[in-house]
Amino acid sequence: MQLYRKFWLEKNLFMSLIVLGEPPSLANQFLNEIRGKDSQQDRLRFRRNLERMGEIMAYEISKRLSYKACLVTSPLASIKSRELISQPILVTVLRAGLPYFQGFLNYFDQADAGFIGAYRKEDGEELTINLEYLASPMVEGQEVILIDPMLATGKSFIRSINALLSHGKPAHIHLASLIASPEGIQHIKENLKIPFTIWTFSVDEKLDNRFYIVPGLGDAGDMSFGTKL
């Protein structure tokens, strides 16, 4: 998959944006089904498509990780190969992140994982993020993949990372979204002070007045699990 990629170097901080939706691949077809107002009604398919997208993104991110030489012995002979030096730490935001996270876990199948309980609160024209739960391993010096399908305002990513920093400073943080908004990308650029890469399949048009991504897909948590009180 050839990637649309943008790099910035601001205040000596390495950051990049990688959009996996170009050139088109099967991922676009899965994303079409996730977005489509009729096709997304099939909850099992919606979750499974998110999981498949997570698998695709995990594979793409794996190309950026570090490998070491190893020797593999088949029943017939040995061959020199390469293997991951260490698995990244996977962290996801409850609850919308879960099916997408499962795709990453399928591929990084020995990874340590962390979980963050965060939810958005609309307060008139303001949106605040309440964070009430964090269970994570130490992340000091590690490659961390923070998995949340919708990069809308970017506030929940920043809030989650700030909480995660109490468990150490990652060497690099991969922000794994499915769909991103231009406003959210800008917010991350302005507020994240450690090296990072934003990964997404699509940068959509904008946020609406309720801070949902347009066209987006609606509410990812509701489509996966039903509406909550």
Chain residues that interact with ligand URA, rule: CB under 6 A = 96, 150, 152, 212-213, 216, 219-221
Of residues 184, 182, 183, 215, the one with CA closest to residue 35:
215
Report the nearest approach of ligand URA to the CB of residue 63 (Å).
28
Q: Which is nearer to ligand URA, 54 or 216 (CB)?
A: 216
Q: Among positive and negative, which fits the CA dihedral 51, 57, 58, 60?
A: positive
Q: CB of residue 175 vs ligand URA: minimum separation in angstroms?
A: 14
Between 56 and 152, name the residue whose CB sits nearer to ligand URA.
152
Q: How far is the CB of 143 from ligand URA (least distance, A)?
A: 25
Q: 56 or 180, CB closer to ligand URA? A: 180
Residue 90 amino acid letter = L
For residue 215, the minimal CB distance to ligand URA (Å) is: 9
Nearer to ligand URA, 58 or 96 (CB): 96
Contact 101, 54 (CB under 8 A): yes
Count Cα atoms within 13 angstroms, Cβ side, for 93.
29
**What token pair was written down for 42?**
């099939």
Under the phi-then-psi rule, with left for phi > 0, alpha for psi from -120 to 50, and beta for the rest, what region is 11?
left
